[in-house]
Amino acid sequence: MKQEGQQLPVLEYLQRQLANTLGPDDTTSVRYPTRISQTLGFRLVAVGLGTATVELDADPELHGNQQGTVHGGLLCELADAAIGTAHSTLVGEGESFTSIDLKINFFRPVWKSTLRATAQPIQHGRTITHYTCDIVRDDGKVAATVISTIMTLRGPQAAGR
């Protein structure tokens, strides 16, 4: 059991956040929710070791492009948030991480829809982890699939991140 004032592992912190059982002094090593997630209205809806699901109520009135559909960059950011959250549950004390690459394939347009991005590792190594993330519309159809490579940073590389 945790004592007051101790820092929680990221996974435990996020699980408590989802269960609405975070105490007023509960902290973790990373910032949650992130500023960009707050700005864009992302919601964490599920988390496990190396996995995360993030939702967004997308609306072209707020998130639209020239064609009147939801901007693809928003889907990319949603997937990146899910992947980053998933990977944050794997990093240890004093470690950090950074994206090496991110590739998105768009399959269907999005208009007004609750989007659900679910990230999971394809391969997890000591330093490099590969993820896949499907973004699903509220009609159950996949709007986009993202693959990304994340590098875990340690020691001086992780300092200040």
pLDDT number for residue 161? 66
pLDDT number for residue 2? 47
pLDDT number for residue 139? 98
pLDDT number for residue 93? 84
pLDDT number for residue 37? 94
Q: Pick from 79, 47, 59, 53: which is nearest to 144 by CA?
A: 79
pLDDT number for residue 111? 96
Q: Can you list the residues of the chain whose pLDDT is less than 50?
A: 2
pLDDT number for residue 74? 98
State the DSSP string of 118-131: EEEEEEE-SSEEEE
Q: Pick from 15, 131, 137, 153: which is nearest to 84 by CA?
A: 131
pLDDT number for residue 5? 59
Asked if residues 146 and 103 have their Cβ atoms less than 8 Å apart, the reply is yes
Tokens at 133, concatenated: 């993330």
Amino acid, single-letter form, for residue 133: C
Burial degree of 151 (CB within 10 A; 0-12, 13-18, 19+): middle
Tell me the domains of the chain and their CATH numbers: 46-157 (3.10.129.10)
pLDDT number for residue 55? 98
Torsion of CA 142, 16, 12, 84, to 10 degrees: 30
| Predicted TM-score (pTM) above 0.95 | no
Q: How far apart are CA 98 and CA 149, in angstroms?
A: 9
Amino acid, single-letter form, for residue 31: R
